[in-house]
Structure 1
Amino acid sequence: MKAVHVTRFGDPTVLEAVDLPDPHPGAGQVAIDVTHAAVGLIDVFFRQGLFKDQEGLPRPPFVPGLEVAGTVRALGEGVTGLTVGEKVVTLSATGTGGYASVLVSDQALVISTEGSGIGPALAVAAVPNAAMAYLALTRVARMSAGESILVHGALGGFASAFPGIARQLGASRVVGSVRTGKLAAAAASRLPYDEIVDSAELPDALHGQAFDVVIDPVGGAVRTRSLDLLAPSGRLLLVGNASGDWGDLIDSNRLWLGGLTVSGFSAGSYIPAHMEELGPAAEAALRAVADGLADTEIDILPLADAVSAHERMETRSVGGRIVLTP
């Protein structure tokens, strides 16, 4: 199969096209002929070696790629409910393997898109993230209907899934923030925000608005500033660190005095402990995407352009999602 290897930790040039043996599914697994693979910041972090000292995370050589769409190629022993040729989207159980023409995934992580009317590029760009946004909002942030939501990095890959799911859950108001220079793209966005503001102008740009839930995939100064944007008993949900600021600290006394909660959500830590929740999350994600609530911008590139895709991710010159086609 065609694939892209991370040959060593480093800059995007460590990505190298290779030919590898086709993988075969084991018990409870599904082999997928990949038509589209999404590029995410987690792929960049893995390639850079940011988590190289954490046990169980990938070390070179490995094939990056967390999310893929395609068709079922083969079924492992004990797999039911799917058929060869069926259109699907999935997360990789290991967070790797997606930049390839074939991926083997655990059945529990595979979502059928057959008959949904959702194309494979949009499916891989939006469905897994929407499912994760559903879990983050319902299980971790404990969002209720009628609450207000603020999403930082509003056009980013994961962030863009939150406004649609929040709408689906009955949010009263959904506001986004973007960094300076992204407001033109925000104005053209089809994502269901009530308003998108410049994060550099917070809190003034919000004119006194406070929010029940703030979603932060950005980190750094934006994260610290978010404490001033929470309503009483508000929740700050940390879902990433796109800023690259790993030294940012939150004053715990601010949480105590304000009656605030800070929680973290990552798919890699949450899903293995809550596999039974994936079914409802997948159903919610498919509804949201089919209803046009996750209509993010998508740039499609050939797999051979993986280096360029990672360069764009690092320079933050992406207004939605990049998807690779083997």
Structure 2
Amino acid sequence: MKAVQATRFGDPSVLTVAELPDPTPGPGQVAIDVTHAAVGLIDVYLRQGLYRDREGLPQPPYVPGLEVAGTVRALGEGVTGFAIGEHVVALSATGAGGYASVYVRDQAYVVSTEGHDIDPALAVAAVPNAIMAHVALTRAARMISGESVLIHGALGGFAAAFPGMARHLGASRVVGSVRGERTTTLPYDALVDSAQLPDEKFDIIVDPVGGAVRTRSLDLLAPLGRLLVVGNASGDWDHRIDSNAVWFGTVTVTGFNSGAYLPAHPEAIRPAAEAALAVVAWGHADTKIELLPFADAATAHERMERHEVDGRIVLTP
């Protein structure tokens, strides 16, 4: 198979295209002929070596990539509910394997897109993130219908999954924060400049940005509001939350990392997938998508590092 390998930890130049043996599915696994593989900021962090000492995460040489779309190639022993040639998306819990023309994943992490008329590039760009947004909002933030939601980095790859899912779950108001003046077709009530955040209070704030934005968010939470931490795009790894501000504001700070949560709770994936497919099919997650070949994986990572991407970059074999 054709694959992009990270030959060592380092800058984007460590990504090279290689020919590797085709993997075969074991019991309970599905092999996928990959047509599209999404590029995420977590791919960049793993390649940089930020998590090199975390148990269970990939070590060089490895194939990056968490999310793929394609068709079922082969079924492992005991797999039911899928057919050869069926269109699917899949997500990884290990951060590896996606930038390849063949991908193998446990059945629980593979979702059929048949019958939903979703382009595979959009499927890989939006469905896995929408699944994670559903789990984050329902299980980590414990969102209920009628609550208001603020989403930072509103047009970023992961953040873009949250407004549609929040609408699906009954949000009364959904606001996004961005740098400068921007427009979008995502289902926000308003976009605001992250340098001039509004005075209104929110029940849930979704923060994939971190740093100073995270600190300011505490003042924007209503009593019993929840700050949902889902990333650190700012790169400010030394930032800390003032626990006294949490106490005085009567608020909660909760994190969500799918790589930590989903392996322990695979039962969360199916209901989240049903919601995700509905949100994407309705056009509520139509994020901007740019297609690049595997040979340009290093370019994709360079642009991610420079924060030059709105929406998703998707690689093709």
Residue 73 of structure 1 is matched in structure 2 by 73
Aligned length: 317
Q: Secondary structure at the match of 2:103?
A: strand
Residue 142 of structure 1 is matched in structure 2 by 142
Residue 193 of structure 1 is matched in structure 2 by 188
Question: Cα deviation per residue 1:22-50 (whole Å; 9 max; x = unaligned)?
Answer: 00000000000000000000100000000
Determine the C-alpha separation between the residues in 1 that align with 2:311 and 2:268.
Answer: 27
Q: How does 1:118-197 map to 2 (within 5 A)?
A: 118-180=118-180, 183=181, 186-187=182-183, 189-197=184-192
CA displacement at 1:257 relative to structure 2: 1.2
Q: 1:299 to 1:97 in 2, by over 3 A?
A: same
Residue 97 of structure 2 is matched in structure 1 by 97
- Contact 2:174-2:189 within 8 A present in 1 as well: yes
CA displacement at 1:241 relative to structure 2: 0.4
Residue 294 of structure 2 is matched in structure 1 by 303
- Contact 2:36-2:316 within 8 A present in 1 as well: yes
Q: How does 1:1-326 map to 2 (within 5 A)?
A: 1-180=1-180, 183=181, 186-187=182-183, 189-202=184-197, 206=198, 208-326=199-317
TM-score normalised per structure 1: 0.96
Q: Percent identity?
A: 72
CA displacement at 1:273 relative to structure 2: 1.4
Q: Secondary structure at the match of 2:263?
A: helix
CA displacement at 1:94 relative to structure 2: 2.1
Question: Cα deviation per residue 1:175-205 (whole Å; 9 max; x = unaligned)?
Answer: 000123xx2xx31x11000111111122xxx
Question: Cα deviation per residue 1:237-288 (whole Å; 9 max; x = unaligned)?
Answer: 0000011100001110111111100000011011011111111000000000
Structure 2: unaligned runs, 5 residues or longer: none
- Contact 1:130-1:285 within 8 A present in 2 as well: yes
CA displacement at 1:292 relative to structure 2: 0.7
Q: Secondary structure at the match of 1:236?
A: strand
Determine the C-alpha separation between the residues in 2 that align with 1:191 and 1:116.
Answer: 19
CA displacement at 1:57 relative to structure 2: 1.1
Determine the C-alpha separation between the residues in 2 that align with 1:234 and 1:299.
Answer: 36
Structure 1: unaligned runs, 5 residues or longer: none
Counterpart AA for 2:103? L
- Contact 1:93-1:106 within 8 A present in 2 as well: no
CA displacement at 1:17 relative to structure 2: 0.7
- Contact 1:157-1:321 within 8 A present in 2 as well: yes
Q: Secondary structure at the match of 1:85?
A: coil
Determine the C-alpha separation between the residues in 2 that align with 1:103 and 1:150.
Answer: 35
C-alpha RMSD of the superposition = 0.7
- Contact 2:225-2:250 within 8 A present in 1 as well: yes
CA displacement at 1:122 relative to structure 2: 0.4
Question: Cα deviation per residue 1:136-157 (whole Å; 9 max; x = unaligned)?
Answer: 1111101111110000000011
Determine the C-alpha separation between the residues in 2 that align with 1:238 and 1:73.
Answer: 36
- Contact 1:93-1:105 within 8 A present in 2 as well: no
Determine the C-alpha separation between the residues in 2 that align with 1:273 and 1:149.
Answer: 27
